[in-house]
Amino acid sequence: MSSAQLEIQLISVLVAIACAIPGTFLVLRKMAMISDAISHSILPGIVIGFFLTENLNSPLLILLAAFTGVLTVWLVETIQKTGLVKEDTAIGLVFPALFSIGVILIAKNANDVHLDIDAVLLGELAFAPFDRLLINELDLGPKSIWVIGSILFVNVILLFTFYKELKLSTFDKGLAISLGFSPVLLHYGLMSVASVTVVGSFDAVGAILVVALMIAPAASAYLLTDDLKKMLLLSCLIGAMSAIGGYWLANLLDASIAGAITTVLGIIFLMVYLFAPDRGIISVMLKEKQQRKEVLLLTFLLHLQNHDEEKERRVQHLQEHINWQKLKAREILQLAEKNNLITINNAIISLTEKGKSFTQEAISHIVTNKETAIEGLKRDFLLFRG
């Protein structure tokens, strides 16, 4: 591995982690689309900043562009407050307008500006190692590492300083206000951090793919854990892994590094979406199936309890009376027998002692409208689940 390759991977890992931190809070605060808006609307800021500084890595440009990002958030909120349109429409109106202004600015000055629209959209990660920071002839490595490194540093410091405030205002806004945290200040603080991060990352991964790095790791992590700290760590980890994986995928296909990183992120999200324990859709669907079966089991047991007469408790009768398919009826019967809730004598079913007390308690929960308590009941009684 050459040093340039190493540097590219280092830059992309730094970008991924820097994005994952604000991204986690954006996802939790249901503001993921704001990052999309910011990443588009910083374009005019970048173009104007580039006119002034002629240097994509200049701090002035980053601040100016980040200001455009915060301006977007403010504009969206102002439009929304007029009540003329809803929030999502406001977002959808503001960023294409600003982005279009940026594109037109570039197009009209194409001769004087060495700013390629593709570079803004896709980033130029492969060229990043060539733009080096030189101080007194001393090579300090690529400029991008320093830019994104300092942004990451600031993000981490801010995260540690304001962790408590961020956490509280994210999960319990009312309590946060009553404790005296200013929601407006925190909101705009987070937006500023997101804007600066987007701007700092755009020339590595491009304006649109920044969104992927902000949202996808956080969304995947959110399906894996309930703990905010774990979620932050996981999103950083997923981001970093995709950064490295994406680099090698791009190497293999000789294609855009940013595109490859996003593709890896997409694959990771797809895997989590399908297979995450508890929250992945496969496990959700299995759980739904189990729930359905256990509801049937309960219905069956209640039916048995309500009927002492033998003709209502014959095995075949179930199919006729509760209107179950043969297969389903047998499944439920087996489940009940396995759990020792019923016994079958000469094709006559009767509840066991355990079955009776289970049914009793379940009824009392249903009558008192405490359906959720039945879950605990099932845990206590059922050795085999549906």
Which stretches of the chain bind another protein, using CB under 8 A? 27, 30-36, 40, 79, 82, 84-86, 88-89, 91-93, 96-97, 99-101, 103-104, 107-108, 110, 117-118, 121-122, 206, 208-209, 211-212, 214-216, 218-219, 222-223, 249-250, 253-256, 258-263, 265-266, 269, 273, 279-281, 284-285
- 351: three-class secondary structure by DSSP: strand
Question: Smaller CB distance to another protein: residue 52 or 104?
Answer: 104
Question: Smaller CB distance to another protein: residue 45 or 206?
Answer: 206
Give the burial class of 2: count Cβ atoms within 10 A of its Cβ; 0-12 exposed, 13-18 middle, 19 or more buried.
exposed
252: number of Cβ within 10 Å: 9
> Smallest distance from the beta carbon of 31 to another protein, in angstroms?
7
Question: Smaller CB distance to another protein: residue 170 or 359?
Answer: 170
> Smallest distance from the beta carbon of 94 to another protein, in angstroms?
9
> Smallest distance from the beta carbon of 279 to another protein, in angstroms?
6
Question: Smaller CB distance to another protein: residue 84 or 184?
Answer: 84
> Smallest distance from the beta carbon of 99 to another protein, in angstroms?
7
Place of tokens 């990660």: 125
> Smallest distance from the beta carbon of 95 to another protein, in angstroms?
8
- Which one-letter amino acid corresponds to residue 281? I
> Smallest distance from the beta carbon of 91 to another protein, in angstroms?
6
Helix pair angle (183-205, 32-53), 10° resolution: 60
Question: Smaller CB distance to another protein: residue 81 or 354?
Answer: 81
Question: Smaller CB distance to another protein: residue 104 or 344?
Answer: 104
> Smallest distance from the beta carbon of 90 to another protein, in angstroms?
8
> Smallest distance from the beta carbon of 65 to another protein, in angstroms?
18
Strand ranges in the chain using DSSP code E only, listed in sequence order: 132-135, 138-142, 342-345, 348-351
Question: Smaller CB distance to another protein: residue 111 or 306?
Answer: 111
Q: To the nearest 10°, the Cα dihedral for 50, 53, 55, 56?
A: -40
> Smallest distance from the beta carbon of 169 to another protein, in angstroms?
17
299 and 322 Cβ atoms separated by less than 8 Å:
yes
Question: Smaller CB distance to another protein: residue 215 or 341?
Answer: 215
> Smallest distance from the beta carbon of 252 to another protein, in angstroms?
10
Question: What is the number of residues in the chain?
Answer: 386
Specify the long-range contacts of residues 236-242, CB closer than 8 Å, at least 24 apart: 236/16, 236/17, 236/20, 236/21, 238/20, 238/265, 238/268, 239/13, 239/16, 239/17, 239/19, 239/20, 239/213, 239/265, 240/13, 240/16, 240/17, 241/268, 242/16, 242/216, 242/217, 242/268
Alpha carbon distance 202, 57 (integer Å): 11
Question: Smaller CB distance to another protein: residue 197 or 359?
Answer: 197
Give the chain's radius of gyration (CA, Å). 29
Among 293, 297, 315, 309, which residue's Cα sits nearest to residue 358?
A: 297
- Going from the C-alpha of 13 to that of each of 180, 190, 243, 247, 260, the distances in angstroms are 37, 21, 5, 10, 14
- Going from the C-alpha of 168 to that of each of 26, 177, 179, 184, the distances in angstroms are 14, 9, 10, 14
Q: To the nearest 10°, the Cα dihedral for 188, 191, 195, 201?
A: 140
Question: Smaller CB distance to another protein: residue 93 or 154?
Answer: 93
